[in-house]
Each structure stands twice: as structure tokens, then as C-alpha cells.
Chain A
Amino acid sequence: MKLSKEEVAQVAFLARLELSEQEIDTLGGQINRLLESFDRLQELDTENVEPTSHTVPVQNVFRGDVSRPSLTPDEVLANAPERVDNTFEVPRIVET
């Protein structure tokens, strides 16, 4: 499996990353090397192996239903690219 230059650009767009042509080439190459590693893993015969969702034998970790203080709006919005009153402002996206 190999990602095309266009696919790398699309993934970057979705992640709101602005990449130069040069960076798309560099990162695309790195992503594809990673994907090749996964392709190698795929070669293993796992026919008789149970699917594993977790590697540690721990289960049923819960917390009680108790509320505790939240962050202040200023803390919440500290990294907001754009802020309007106490909300994050984002480019309008058609409702799905």
C-alpha cells in the first residue's frame, strides 16, 4: 500500500497542516516507509491467533459518577486559534 502525493496532501488538509511541496515529498516518503513496515507485518500468518484489543490483562477500570471542577473558560480557550466571547471560532462547515 502506497499513498500518492495527492493523498498525502489530502490527509494534511484534513489535519489542517499547511505543507510545502518539499514537505509533502519528505513526509510522504516517511509515511510510505511506515506503511511498508505494516505490509511486512501483514505477511505473518495469524490464522489461529485471537484478535487482541489490549496487551495487558486488565479489565473493568471504572470511576464513580462524581463531578469535579472544570477548567475556567480562559484556560479552555487558551490555545483557541480564534475566540469569540467564550467560544472557539472555526471556519463554517456544512452541517452533516
Chain B
Amino acid sequence: MIEYEPVIGMEVHSELLTESKMFCGCKVAFGGEPNTRCCPVCLGLPGSLPVVNKRAVEFVVRTALALNCEISHHSIFHRKNYFYPDLPKGYQISQYGETPIGVRGYVEITVNGTTKRIGIRRVHLEEDTGKLLHVEGDRSLVDYNRSGVPLMEIVTEHDPAAGFDQINSADEAREYLVRLRSILLYLGVSDGKMEEGSLRCEPNISIRPKGSGEFGVRTEIKNLNSFRAVYNGVKYEIERQERVLREGGTVIHETRRWDEPRSVTASMRSKELEQEYRYFPEPDLVPMVFEPEWIEAQRHLLPELPQEKKARFMAEFGLTAYDAGVLTDSKALAEFFEKAVEGYHDPKIVANWTMGEFLRLVNAAGIEVDQVKITPGHLVDMLKLMDNGTISGKIAKTVFTEMFETGKRPEDIVKEKGLVQITDESAIESAIDQVLAENPNEVERYKAGKQELLGFFVGQVMRATKGKANPGVVNKLLREKLS
């Protein structure tokens, strides 16, 4: 049986976090009353002229640099012509051909222990379109608030040069997107919200007999609004194409829509004809020329990127690659950890709490790290309460959950809830006596040699003291009493 190899190209669009639109001064925002952020330029009214937003250009140059791209010395805009009601001018201003802002870069990904350098073909700047609100019947409503919002397009190389790799699985496609999004968030150029559509991903997929140098017919998938959808959609499409080929059919070049509830891709039957966009240089905008000194100045403005931060966390705090990777996945999480480490002597303990309880509660609450109430200082204070014996490790988890939910200081929580650890030996002793009296059978079995029962007694004592007894003291006293 022929073994097939998938080849996946990723086309990612990200709206840029500028204050104003790409070619006019209308505000950039999400949602709001339709058609309230529009002007003659972004409505394509006759006689209006576009002017390039400098910050949008800087954002794309910095992104391209962060993705290890070369910056074109000379870069121009083009018109992409097509008729569609979300595009009031009848064309989209984009960048076509050989001179996008960035070319020939890469993103490093690691999947199942294998590291790949995914080639980036191009990084370019364009404008977003308006939004069609589909209603019942044969009419659509159009909102042009999004029309003209700066949009960056990042395309991977499906046929990379030596030393670079292509994406060959759904796992790699997802990991590529995770890495790319993380870089965009570190750069502060995108909010990365896939569910709001400010970050959109359209993979194209083909399969070929393993080892073949040729490419199969590719399909493009739209409507992937989460990492999970990207993974599931790509996986489904690879399997679908394999099925088609194994049954002797042929894959058709088309765009397919991911149907999330049904977990399938379905043909959109809209791109059977290759569109002719009649690209030509945008006559209303003059060329951009990037001098080497200016490019270097932009490079200097790059923040510490995820991979650099990960390497530093390993070197500076002695963390494992895995821990450093988890902590630097999100900029906000890395910042939380780093602030807490400043106030505490043991980075490993801070890392464990940040990756364990903290991340677990963040995920359970379904919020972003930068939305939490708990501060790094709270974590530090709590760790110090553990160190000086005020609370036990078990109680600390209760305190941490409370801090996470309320944003209160750990000292206040301990005081309010009476969570101070019992270290007083006589108080613990009476709890032990009670437990031993209530469980005569276990006491007998323990004394007959069933040593594992010590854990049972410890548990019972902790329960009787509502978890407040100092576990070290409990252990010590239990051994004494049972010997």
C-alpha cells in the first residue's frame, strides 16, 4: 500500500494593534455599532486618497525580523481587484509578487522531540475587508467598520530551500500556529484572538506518495476559529484526501469550509475557477524604501522573544527545557513567574506553583493570564507563610485558590478563615489519641507489622484538624504513639 505524506502550507492573517486604520484615521476597534468607524477613504468614495500608517509598517517589519526574514529594500503596494460587497473600492490594497516587506524567514517548532525550521515565504501588509452579516433570505447586511484595518499576512513555504522544513502533519500545523501567535503577542502587534477573527488561519493541504518530489492537488480550509479547529480540520482533510485517492478518485482544487458542529470539511463550490485578480502597482501610494540603518533600529526595538526567554530561564533559574517552555508560552505567564521569582529565593518552587495551581485555575476559569486577580506578590507572601510554618502545604492550596478567586492577600485569608497551622504538640496529640481510639483494628494491624497504615493515620489526623496540623509533627507523634 502506498504511504502518503501530507504537505501543508499555512496562510495566517493578523489584524494589527494600531490605533487607526491602514490608510485613514478611522479608529480600529472590535464590534460596536455598524458603520460608525468609516470615512471616504475606507468606504472607497471617489476622490479620496490613502496614506500609509507608519506604525503598521513598523509592526510588519518587526514581525518579519522576529521571524528571521530578510527585509526588502524596496517594497510596494498593489491593487487586488475583485467584486464583492465587503470591498467598497472594488479592490483590496495588498502586496503582490517579489517585494513584500519580509521574505525568506523561519519559525522553529518542536513536535514529539523533533525540531523543525518551518520556512516562511513572505510577510506582507494589506487591509482588512468589511464584514458581511448574513441574514435570513436572499439579503446580506454590510458593516464597513473593519474595512481598511491593517492586516498582516504570513505565509509558510511549502517548497522550502535546503536547511528549512515544511509542515507535514496536523500536529505540526497547530504547533506552528501556537509558536507564531506567541511571537506576535510578545511583539505586541496582535491580540491573537482567533475567536474574534483578529487572527485567522487558512491552511492549504495536499498529499503525495512519500518520497515523491511532486505536489498533489491542494485544498484550502476556511473557518478555523481555534487551535483545536486548526488541528481537527487539517487532520480531517488529510484523511479525506487519502480516502479519495485510495478509492481511485481525484482531489479537486477547491476551498472547503470547516463545519465545527459536524467536524467535517465541506466544499464551498466557489473557487472552481482560478480568480483573476488583475494585480497592478497601487498608483495612489508611493514605494517604501527601507535603509539598512533603519532596519537595524527596528531590530533593536524587538523585545525578548519566547525562545530567547526560554533559554534565559533555563540558564538563569536552572529550569528544565520543559518547564521553561511552559512558562514562556505566554508572555503574561512568563511575566507573572519572573516577578514572583524576584521576591523568592527558590525559582523551582515558584515555577511549580505557576505551572501547577496557577495555570490549572486559569484554565478552569477560562480566562487569560493577564485577567487574573492574584498578583505575583501574593504568591511570594504565601510561600513565605509556608516557610515560616504558619500554613502547611495542604492549606497553601486552599489559600492559593482563595487568592486566585478573590485577589485577597494570603495573610488576610489565613486570618479570616482561621487557617493557621497547628504546631502545638498537645493539640495534635489529643487529635491523635482520638483517631487511635476510633480505629482499634487498624492500630492492631499496624502493630502486627502493616507499616503502610501510617499514611492512613496521618490522613485521619489531618482530617480531624481540618488539614491544619503540621504534617511533620503529626508524623513524629504518631510514630512515637504507635511504637
Give B38's nearest chain A residue, CB to CB.
Answer: A76
In the complex, number of A-B residue pairs with CB atoms less than 8 Å apart: 130
Residues of B within 8 A of A95 (CB): 132, 134, 257, 268, 270
Any chain A CB within 8 A of the CB of B318? no
Asked if A67 contacts B20 (CB within 8 A), the reply is yes
How many chain B residues touch A (Cβ–Cβ < 8 Å)? 51
Residues of A within 8 A of B36 (CB): 70, 72-73, 76, 86
Asked if B134 contacts A92 (CB within 8 A), the reply is yes
Whole-angstrom distance between the Cβ of A96 and the nearest chain B Cβ: 5
Any chain B CB within 8 A of the CB of A40? no
User: Which of the residues B84, B141, B283 comes within 8 Å of A96, measured between beta carbons?
Assistant: B84
Any chain A CB within 8 A of the CB of B281? yes
Asked if B286 contacts A58 (CB within 8 A), the reply is yes
Q: Give the interface SS of chain B, mostly helix, strand, loop or mixed.
A: loop
Whole-angstrom distance between the Cβ of B479 and the nearest chain A Cβ: 70
Q: Give the interface SS of chain A, mostly helix, strand, loop or mixed.
A: loop
User: Which of the residues A53, A63, A88 comes within 8 Å of B141, measured between beta carbons?
Assistant: A88
Give A94's nearest chain B residue, CB to CB.
Answer: B270
Asked if A59 contacts B287 (CB within 8 A), the reply is yes
Give B143's nearest chain A residue, CB to CB.
Answer: A87
Asked if B288 contacts A59 (CB within 8 A), the reply is yes
Which of chain A's residues 15-70 have a Cβ closer than 8 Å to chain B? 15, 53-54, 56, 58-68, 70
Any chain B CB within 8 A of the CB of A1? no
Residues of B within 8 A of A72 (CB): 36
Residues of B within 8 A of A58 (CB): 286
Asked if A93 contacts B140 (CB within 8 A), the reply is yes
Known: A64-B54, A65-B54, A92-B134. A59 touches B289 (CB 8 A): yes
Any chain B CB within 8 A of the CB of A77? yes
Residues of B within 8 A of A56 (CB): 286
Q: How far is the CA of A9 from the CA of B344 in the complex (A)?
A: 75
Give the interface residue-count category, chain A.
35 or more
Stretch at the interface among B25-33, B408-416, B441-449: B25-33
User: Which of the residues A14, A63, A96 comes within 8 Å of B53, measured between beta carbons?
Assistant: A63
Residues of B within 8 A of A14 (CB): 83
Q: How far is the CA of A25 from the CA of B283 in the complex (A)?
A: 31
Residues of B within 8 A of A61 (CB): 51-52, 285-286
Any chain A CB within 8 A of the CB of B253? no
Any chain A CB within 8 A of the CB of B76? yes
Known: A54-B281, A54-B287, A62-B51. A76 touches B18 (CB 8 A): no
Give B270's nearest chain A residue, CB to CB.
Answer: A96
Residues in B lying within 8 Å of A, measured CB to CB: 18-20, 25-28, 33-40, 43, 51-57, 76, 83-85, 132-134, 137-144, 255, 257, 268-271, 281, 283, 285-289
- Pick 27 A–B contacts, CB within 8 A, sort by A: A53-B76, A54-B283, A59-B288, A59-B289, A60-B287, A60-B289, A61-B285, A62-B51, A62-B54, A62-B57, A63-B53, A64-B55, A65-B19, A66-B20, A71-B40, A71-B43, A73-B33, A73-B36, A76-B144, A87-B143, A89-B142, A90-B139, A90-B141, A91-B139, A92-B140, A95-B134, A96-B84
